[in-house]
Amino acid sequence: MCNTALKCAIIQDGRKGYQIAQLLGWHPSKVSQIIIGAHTPNSEEKRQLADTLGKREIELFPVENEEPVRG
């Protein structure tokens, strides 16, 4: 499952996925694997990505199967 929130955040940031991976000390393909759903990031990886992109984890990795809030 594609993570469009993460993909959009990277595009808005202006850096390429491999550049972000390099900053984090990850393999160059790891960010793209997370985007396309080939790698499920653990909580630490989510936090690192969010911090690097200046976002909150919930913005990049929304909770699945959560009921929408009705107001």
**Residue 13 in contact with residue 46, Cβ under 8 Å?**
no
| Structure tokens belonging to residue 57 | 């984890």
pTM of the predicted model as reported, rounded to 2 decimal places: 0.83
Domains in the chain, CATH or no CATH each: 4-60 (1.10.260)
Contact residues for 3 (Cβ-Cβ < 8 A; gap 6+): 34, 35, 36, 37, 60, 61
Per-residue pLDDT of the chain (71 residues; tens, 9 = 90+): 789 999 999 999 999 999 999 999 999 999 999 999 999 999 999 999 999 999 999 999 987 655 555 55
